[in-house]
Amino acid sequence: VEMGYDETNDKLIKATESLEESEKQFKEVEGDVSALTRRIMLMEEEDKKSAEVLCSTITKLALTSKSADNVLKAVKVVESTCMNNEVTIEELDKNLRATIKMAVDNEQKLDE
């Protein structure tokens, strides 16, 4: 009976040690899982913030692009106005030269 008791007691001690080791491993794994869970939560939060920043940046880019398009349209209008003004100036200059020539010719006729 005593020998059976000693064997059972040894088995109990080994089982207790095995249980303690398993509990220790479980706590380590549980800690790792907890750390990974926190890391995932932080990464998800970072992802959310990045998505918001990206969305904001895309909106700003679209508005800036629209503004740039309006500026280009305004530039084309100014360029067109400048070209028309150059043509008008050339015509007026041509008319001025013709008028001066006529005036000089008329003055010469008057002098004769």
What does the pLDDT look like over 59-90, one tens digit per residue? 999 999 999 999 999 999 999 999 999 999 99
User: Sign of dihedral through CA atoms 96, 102, 106, 112?
Assistant: positive
Of 15, 18, 14, 37, which Cα lies nearest the Cα of 26? 18
Quick check: 1 pLDDT over 70? no
pTM, to two decimals: 0.57
Quick check: 2 pLDDT over 80? no
Q: How far apart are CA 45 and CA 52, in angstroms?
A: 11
Q: Mean per-residue pLDDT for 43-51?
A: 98
Give the number of other Cβ atoms within 10 Å of residue 102's Cβ: 10
DSSP state of 112: -
So what's the pLDDT on residue 111?
Answer: 85
